[in-house]
Every structure is written in C-alpha cells, then in structure tokens.
Chains A and B, each alone.
Chain A
Amino acid sequence: MATLAALAEAWWSNRISPDWRPRTTAESQAILDGLGLTGEFWQLPA
C-alpha cells in the first residue's frame, strides 16, 4: 500500500495543473522503475 500511494503521488500529482504535459513512455517507465516496479509485468509498451 505504501508503494501504491507513492506511485499515485508520482503518477498523478500534476494531473490538474495547467502546466501538465503528456509524459513520454520513458518518463512513465522511470516512475515505475524508481519504485521498484520492475520486470516484464511492469514494462510499458515500447
């Protein structure tokens, strides 16, 4: 649950900000990797 909360913070924190811009796949993958969500299951499509 702690990881889920950290993931939500990293993934959604700027979602309603006027400065929001689409993330690249690499940026999204870096969020997952940074939280230890690694391995084939957590690999976003190339």
Chain B
Amino acid sequence: MDVDDLELRNATYSLFVELGDAPSADAVANALELDVERVRDGWQRLHDAHALVLDEAGEIRMANPFSGVPTPHRVEASGRTWYANCAWDAFGVCVVLGGDGRIETTCPDCGEQLVVEVHDGRPDDESLVFHSLVEASRWWDDIVFT
C-alpha cells in the first residue's frame, strides 16, 4: 500500500468517524482536494487489499469494524449509533471509539435480543458465546457473509 492510498484510507476512516456513517466518494474527494475518480480508483485498490470493502456500486460497504449499512449489530458509542458487521466488529467499534459502548444484537440461534454493556473494552456479561461460522482461511472469500 503506497503513501497516497494510505492517506486515502485514513481520510476515509476519519470521515466515517466524523460523520457517523460511511462517507461518499465526493466527501472524501473534497476533504483531500482530489478528483473523485482518483478516490474511486484508490478505494478499489484498498478493496482489493482488504483495507475496506466496497459494494457493487462502488460505495463503502464496510470500513471494518464499521458497517456502511444497517445490520443486526447496533452499537451505541461516543454519543452516536453505529452498525457493526458482526459481533467481533461490534466490540471493535467500542474499542476504536474509546473502549465504552452498548451493543444490541440478537442471538442468531434462538433470536433472543442481547444487550451487552462494554466498559474499557470488557463486556458486562461473559457468559455469552460467539460463534464463528467460517474458517479463517476463507474469511475473505465472501467477507459480507463471514
């Protein structure tokens, strides 16, 4: 990853946190004073490098641990509502925003609503079980499913 793509990646993440949602290519282009096509080309390279995930339209689908679309994994942190891509990422959202948060999700097995308070990165209920369905060697075969 070269310096320009690293700057683009960091600006994209910074704007995501500032806006509370996935930034548009236009917003990132304005922030970096770049042509929007350079942003889109760079995003594609970052997608190929697994540094973020684009949807079919070329918009930000994931800037892990953040999701660019609503998911069943909602996180209240830093005064805002965020969506995470999975339970692992839900804790990640708390971690990157200072360590505290409230995760609301559902058990994929029985459908029960689950609420986990997180303080300094630690859950208030350690009795819950996280199940990873996909083996690590295949996470990026379909990262949205993973």
Seen from chain A, the residues whose Cβ lies within 8 Å of a Cβ on chain B are: 1-5, 7-9, 11-13, 15-16, 18, 20-22, 32, 40-45
Q: Contact at A2–B88, with CB atoms within 8 Å?
A: no
Q: Contact at A1–B121, with CB atoms within 8 Å?
A: no
Query: Distance in Å from the Cβ of B88 to the closest Cβ of chain A?
Result: 6
Residue of B14, B64, B137 with most partner-chain A CB within 10 A = B137
Interface: B136 (CB within 8 A): yes
Q: Contact at B136–A41, with CB atoms within 8 Å?
A: yes
Q: Interface on chain A toward B: helix, strand, loop, or mixed SS?
A: helix
Interface: B129 (CB within 8 A): yes
Kindly state the interface size class of chain B when it binds its partner. Answer: 35 or more
Contact count A vs B, C-beta below 8 Å: 81
Assembly CA distance A11 to B96 (angstroms): 10
Contact of B123 (CB < 8 Å), options: A5, A7, A18: A5
Assembly CA distance A4 to B128 (angstroms): 10
Assembly CA distance A22 to B5 (angstroms): 11
Q: Which partner residue on chain B sits nearest A18 by CB separation?
A: B10
Q: Which partner residue on chain A sits nearest B135 by CB separation?
A: A41
Given contacts A16-B17, A22-B49, A42-B136, are A4 and B10 in contact (CB under 8 A)?
no
Contact of B137 (CB < 8 Å), options: A9, A13, A15, A45: A45
Q: Which partner residue on chain B sits nearest A12 by CB separation?
A: B92
Q: Contact at B136–A12, with CB atoms within 8 Å?
A: no
